[in-house]
Amino acid sequence: MQDFIATITAFADAHRAWAPLLVLLLAFGESIAFVSLLLPFWGMLVALGALFGGSWIEFLIIWAAASVGAALGDWVSYWLGAHFKDKIAAMWPLSRYPDLLPKGQSFFDKYGAWAIVLGRFSGPFRASVSIIAGASRMNPLIFQVANWSSAFLWAFVLLVFGDFIGKIMAYLHAFM
């Protein structure tokens, strides 16, 4: 996985014009239920935060792309939950994680709309809460407000964390 992260980061560095689209796709993949279970893209997003954190303009563009990708991924997950309801638990790869949706349902029942925001910051819940919201017929407007606001917050935190790690690594490299 580390080689894959290095390859993606090198590609984004060499082809900066393509970086926003790449980041949008990675955040989409990280936020859509099926893909996020197979390929955890958050590590690549952290690495890209380190790469683009030095330039405020580039950071804003990357942040917007990551936010839109994350929100669209959860939107698709919501739609899948609304469309397939209980049948989705039997679909691969969710069928490989039989506790995921029941735990997501419990989390959703406890926190309501806040589960969308809180779940975005938890890998397993990020993959299930939007599906549960759709299957539960959560008000679409409330879902979208929680979805989009949490997507911008999540992307910012992830990319700033990457920038912080990148600055620490640069400092340590210069110090050594």
Q: Can you tell me the distance from the alpha carbon of 2 to that of 44, in angstroms, rounded to the nearest whole number?
A: 9
Query: Residues 69, 38, 121, 89: is their CA dihedral positive or negative?
Result: positive
Q: What local confidence, expressed as pLDDT, does residue 37 receive? A: 57
Helices 42-52 and 19-31: crossing angle, nearest 10°?
Answer: 150
Instruction: Name which residue leads in pLDDT, 87 or 37.
Output: 87
DSSP for 42-73 reads HHHHHHHHHHHTT-HHHHHHHHHHHHHHHHHH
pLDDT digits (tens, 9 = 90+) for 83-111: 988 777 677 666 777 787 788 888 888 99
Q: What's the pTM?
A: 0.85
CA 126, CA 119: separation in Å to the nearest integer?
Answer: 5
- Rounded to whole angstroms, the Cα distance separating 98 from 114 reads 23
CB of 77 closer than 8 Å to CB of 134: yes
Over residues 41-78, the pLDDT tens digits come to 777 787 778 777 778 898 899 999 999 999 999 999 99
